[in-house]
A and B are shown apart, each in its own frame.
Chain A
Amino acid sequence: MDNILIYFYSYKEAIFIIVLSIYLGIEVISNVPSVLHTPLMSGANAISGVIIIGGIILVGHSDLSHLSLRLVIGIFAILFATLNVVGGFAVTDRMLEMFKKKK
């Protein structure tokens, strides 16, 4: 019991963020009409490309003087994450445009 409390206390900020984000995610998403399931999924998918920040930090502080495996993998991480972000948002926009243009 003490261990759990100590763990909670030492990571309290992180735990607050996790719990509240989960709650927020559930609140924001529930009651979405099924018309929007695909765009929502693909838009959310683009947001998960936020891992690109990690890639930028990695490559940003890498040593450029020689071509290391680390640098190459980091560049690939950025490349893939960009595909996720840009492709995801662009295709979501394309879908939503179709939803809109009728009357």
Chain B
Amino acid sequence: MDAILTTYNGVEFTIGAAILEFSYLLAAILFVYGLKLLSRPETARKGNFWAAAGMVLAMVTTILLHTDTAGNYIPGGNAIVIIITVAIGSVIGLLISKRVKMTAMPQLVSIFNATGGIASALVGLLEFSNPGNESLLVTLLGLIVGSVAFSGSMIAYGKLDGKVGNISAGIMKYVNFIILAAIIGLTIYIMFQPNPQDVSLMVYILFAAALAYGVLFVMPIGGADMPVVISLLNSLTGIAAAFAGFIYNNQAMILGGILVGAAGSILTLLMTKAMNRSLINVIIGGFGGGGAATGDEGGIYKEISVSDASILLAYSKKVVVVPGYGLAVAQAQHTVHELEKLLEGKGVSVKYGIHPVAGRMPGHMNVLLAEADVSYDKLVEMDEINKEMETTDVIIVVGANDVVNPSANDHPGSPIYGMPVINAEKAKNVIVMKRGMGKGYAGIENPLFFRDNTRMLFGNAKDSLQKLVNEVNTL
């Protein structure tokens, strides 16, 4: 089918080009279909497979059938360079994805997101200097968004891995604003040049400014806000890819990118809703706005011994575990599953109450518990588990704090007032596993710890759970 020129209704094209466009249509359908299947537990794995198949299809047909404006196919030598590069990347990608521990999943998601972002930025950078490029604005936008997604994801990775601390000076707000204004100004300046390609130095400055903005925008955002940031960065990478799609007028890229952008935005909104905060508020950072001290904080907390706790658990009918980031830090997911099996063996019903923003990325707790083989029908969403609180004998809070803080319901002065929480205090007994009396991320007291029906079990979550397992075993 080499260069058979066909004319239909006055449009000239080769059969190869027609097949290529058709394969892009198929790839786009596979992306949508895959994403649809991914949203149901029973079909999710198939969905992932079909989306991957769409990607492979688009890659193969592009190598085989893509022609430049002069109608030349990709030469064999170039094809070999591409294939070797893809092969190297695949091996590295596969190795990383197989080797990384499930507890490091948020870091990994951030890293992969960063690679997608930088790829978009590099393509934008190169295409800008391409004289045949007629869509300079989208090229610049792709460069900017891709760069922000890249450097932002790298910082998010550093934070999740504990390599980067929180730096949130008040002045940062203004610095961010200035850089953002500079990015917009530079873009407009470049676009209004008679020959934009002549000011390539400006484009490099723009690239650097966008990278800096990504760093500074994620830097002040605290750990508990990470689920919002990660899904936001995810959506940015999609948008960057879509911009690049416009350069090539490639519908598969446009649709794939926008699909991811839209999905990421939805997830971002879900996360901000789960924290009762606006996106702006998360980005500007900090729990601002009238964080006055809560009135009836303090009081006396009561501890519980491991043996009392195990007796309490073993003779309950219904136990609910509320995991938080502390579970991930202590890597206690296997131990908690062990306790769950042991209790179930004694006829106790055990469920997990999962708050949507528990952990450091959307769905973090689910992945963690799934790794430990906890069946997913035991993972109950917040609204559902709240309906069962009154009939729950014991609720165990493992390494969570703000997501079970009753101030969110009944204390209008509290900084987290209005955030939906798991109503742990309504259960008959509450056992809180904590390392000490430190405050949660929001830095506020949790009146739950001082309730009459609450007992504290201090220590590392994994050790405490292990002791409970040993003790329940002897009963």
A interface list, Cβ under 8 A from B: 14, 17-18, 21-26, 28-62, 64, 70, 73-103
Tell me the smallest distance from the CB of B135 to a CB of chain A, in Å.
10
Interface check B1, CB cutoff 8 A: no
Set A17, A64, A96: member contacting B48, Cβ < 8 A? A96
Set A28, A70, A82, A96: member contacting B39, Cβ < 8 A? A28
Q: Is the CB of B361 within 8 A of A80?
A: no
Tell me the smallest distance from the CB of B55 to a CB of chain A, in Å.
6
B interface list, Cβ under 8 A from A: 31-32, 34-36, 38-41, 44-45, 47-49, 51-52, 55, 58-59, 62-63, 66, 68, 72, 74-75, 77-79, 81-82, 85-86, 88-90, 92-94, 96-98, 100, 102, 105, 108-109, 111-113, 115-116, 118-120, 122-123, 125-127, 129, 146, 230-231, 234, 237-238, 240-242, 244-248, 250-264, 266-267, 354, 356, 361-364, 366-367, 370-371, 373-376, 379, 381
A100 and B263 in contact (CB under 8 A), knowing A18-B254, A45-B113, A61-B68? no
Set B34, B74, B79, B126: member contacting A70, Cβ < 8 A? B126
Tell me the smallest distance from the CB of B141 to a CB of chain A, in Å.
13
Which secondary structure characterizes the binding site on chain A? helix
Set B39, B77, B86: member contacting A64, Cβ < 8 A? B77
Find chain A residues with CB under 8 A from B266 CB.
Answer: 25-26, 29-30
A60 and B63 in contact (CB under 8 A), knowing A25-B260, A81-B115? yes
Q: Is the CB of B45 within 8 A of A21?
A: no
Most buried by B among A59, A84, A97: A84
Find chain B residues with CB under 8 A from A79 CB.
Answer: 85, 88-89
In whole angstroms, how far apart are the Cα atoms of A17 and B256 in the complex?
A: 11
Find chain B residues with CB under 8 A from A95 CB.
Answer: 102, 105, 367, 370
Find chain A residues with CB under 8 A from B77 CB.
Answer: 64
